[in-house]
Amino acid sequence: MSDTPLSFAARGTTRDIEEGGLLAPKFDAAGLIAAVAVDADSGEVLMVAYMNEESLRRTLETGEAWYWSRSRGELWRKGDTSGQVQTVVEMRVDCDQDCLLLRVRVGGDGGCCHTGRRSCFYRRVEAPAEGGLVRLVPA
């Protein structure tokens, strides 16, 4: 890591945010921004997590995905306990800079979900034909 911390641009005009060349992330009221991790080669959606300013900085500085755990209230590097380290190949930001897309390659067993599956998106939502409870079925 560098001795000089990375900094982000101040949120400017809509034009600055949508067309400008500086990252000005829009963190929510809790100081978080959504981050979608996809497989760099296949495009498969692996997981959605959140980053705070520190985890975004660490991700940019190290090239490995760091997140903020809302449930544990702590910073975590993906793969510290599972071995499923996410090496960031590319990071993109959406038009209003309130969501990040991380194209990653996953180490260890290649999984991302704490349930042991490759992706956290292993169920499909199926609406019932005539009312009733919405069902989840294997994807």
Is 128 a residue whose pLDDT tops 60?
A: yes
Q: Please state the residue numbers annotated as binding site for Zn(2+).
A: 95, 113, 120
pTM: 0.90
- Average pLDDT (18-31) is 96
Q: Is residue 8 part of a domain?
A: no
Task: Provide the annotated binding site.
Answer: 94-96, 98, 113, 120
41: in domain: yes
Please report whether residue 5 resides in a domain: no
Q: pLDDT value at position 2? A: 54
For the annotated binding site for Mg(2+), the residues are 94, 96, 98
pLDDT of residue 21: 95
7 in any annotated domain: no
Residues of the chain with pLDDT > 90, as a percent, come to 90
**In total, how many domains does the chain have?**
1
Residue 30 lies in a domain: yes
Mean pLDDT in residue range 118-125: 96
For residue 79, the enclosing domain spans 14-138
The answer as to whether 3 is a domain residue is no
Q: In the block, which residue shows the tokens 């930001």?
A: 93
Domain harbouring 49, CATH code:
3.10.20.810
The reply to whether 21 falls in a domain is: yes
Residues 6 or more apart whose Cβ sits within 8 Å of residue 78: 37, 49, 64, 65, 66, 67, 84, 85, 86, 112
Sign of CA dihedral 97, 101, 107, 108: positive
Residue 1 lies in a domain: no
Does residue 69 have a pLDDT over 90?
Answer: yes
Mean of pLDDT values over 81-88: 95
- pLDDT of 12 strictly over 90: yes
- Write down the residue that tokens 């996410």 correspond to: 86
